[in-house]
Structure 1
Amino acid sequence: MQDPDDLTSKDDASRDNPRREFLSLLMASGFALAVQPVAASTLATDDAGLTVGAVGIPVGKEILPAYRAQPAKPKGPLPVVLVVQEVFGVHEHIQDLCRRLAKAGYLAIAPELYFRQGDARFYPNISDLLAKLVSKVPDEQVLRDLDATADWTLKNGGDANRIAITGFCWGGRIVWLYAAHNPKLKAAVAWYGRLVGEGAPNTPRHPVDVAGSLKAPVLGLYGGQDKGILSESVDRMRAALKAAGSPSQIVVYPDADHGFNADYRPNYHAAAAKDGWARMLAWFARYGVKP
Structure 2
Amino acid sequence: MNTSPSDHIPQEAFDWYDEYAHGLMDRRTFMKKLGGLAALGFSMAVLTSALLPNYALAEQVSFNDDDIKATYEEFDSPDGHGKGKGYLATPKNVEGKLPVVLVIHENRGLNPYVKDVARRLAKIGFIAFAPDALFPLGGYPGNDDEGRAMQKTMDRAKIQNDFVAAAHFLKSHANSNGKLGAVGFCFGGYIVNYLAAVDSNLLSAGVPFYGTPASESLRKNIKAPLMIQLGELDKRVNASWPQYEQDLKANNVEYTMHMYKGANHGFHNDSTGRYDKDNAELAWQRTVEFFNKKLS
> TM class by shorter-chain length?
0.7 to 0.9
Deviations 1:75-108 (A, max 9, x none): 1122110111112211110110000000110110
Counterpart in the other structure of 2:278: 271
1:100 aligns with 2:120: yes
1:51 aligns with 2:66: no
State the distance in 1 between where 2:168 and 2:55 align.
36
In structure 2, relative to structure 1, the CA distance for the partners of 1:129 and 1:95 (3 Å cut) is closer
> Is the partner of 2:291 in helix, strand or coil?
helix
Report if aligned partners of 2:164, 2:195 keep a CA contact under 8 Å in 1: no
Equivalent in 63, 72, 92 of residue 72 of structure 1: 92
Partner amino acid for 2:205? A
Counterpart in the other structure of 2:243: 236
Equivalent in 156, 159, 164 of residue 142 of structure 1: 159
Aligned-residue sequence identity (percent) comes to 27
State the distance in 2 between where 1:92 and 1:36 align.
14
Report if aligned partners of 2:111, 2:144 keep a CA contact under 8 Å in 1: no
In structure 2, relative to structure 1, the CA distance for the partners of 1:38 and 1:283 (3 Å cut) is same
The structural deviation recorded for 1:252 is 0.9
Partner amino acid for 1:220? I
In structure 2, relative to structure 1, the CA distance for the partners of 1:208 and 1:121 (3 Å cut) is farther
Unaligned residue ranges in structure 2 (runs of 5+): 1-50
Partner amino acid for 2:166? T
Equivalent in 43, 50, 58 of residue 42 of structure 1: 58
> Is the partner of 2:240 in helix, strand or coil?
helix
State the distance in 2 between where 1:51 and 1:41 align.
21
> Is the partner of 1:53 in helix, strand or coil?
strand
Unaligned residue ranges in structure 1 (runs of 5+): 1-34, 196-205
Report if aligned partners of 2:183, 2:189 keep a CA contact under 8 Å in 1: yes
> Is the partner of 1:166 in helix, strand or coil?
strand
TM-score (norm: length of structure 2): 0.73
The structural deviation recorded for 1:123 is 5.7
The structural deviation recorded for 1:120 is 4.5
Equivalent in 109, 118, 141 of residue 121 of structure 1: 141
Alignment of 1:121-270 (within 5 A): 121-122=141-142, 125=145, 130=148, 132-182=149-199, 183-195=201-213, 206-230=214-238, 232-270=239-277
Partner amino acid for 1:110? A
Partner amino acid for 1:108? A
Report if aligned partners of 1:208, 1:236 keep a CA contact under 8 Å in 2: no
State the distance in 2 between where 1:37 and 1:184 align.
33
> Is the partner of 1:251 in helix, strand or coil?
strand
State the distance in 1 between where 2:217 and 2:173 align.
34
The structural deviation recorded for 1:212 is 2.3
In structure 2, relative to structure 1, the CA distance for the partners of 1:145 and 1:45 (3 Å cut) is same
Report if aligned partners of 1:76, 1:157 keep a CA contact under 8 Å in 2: no
Deviations 1:97-150 (A, max 9, x none): 00000011011001112322454435663xx755x4333334432333233323
Moved over 6 A (4+): none
The structural deviation recorded for 1:39 is 7.2
The structural deviation recorded for 1:64 is 1.5
The structural deviation recorded for 1:72 is 1.1
C-alpha RMSD of the superposition: 2.5
In structure 2, relative to structure 1, the CA distance for the partners of 1:122 and 1:40 (3 Å cut) is closer
The structural deviation recorded for 1:163 is 0.9
- Which deviates more from structure 2 when the two are superposed, residues 240-249 or residues 155-164? 155-164
State the distance in 2 between where 1:94 and 1:37 align.
12
Partner amino acid for 2:109? G
Report if aligned partners of 2:89, 2:118 keep a CA contact under 8 Å in 1: yes
In structure 2, relative to structure 1, the CA distance for the partners of 1:64 and 1:180 (3 Å cut) is same
More helix as a share of residues: 2
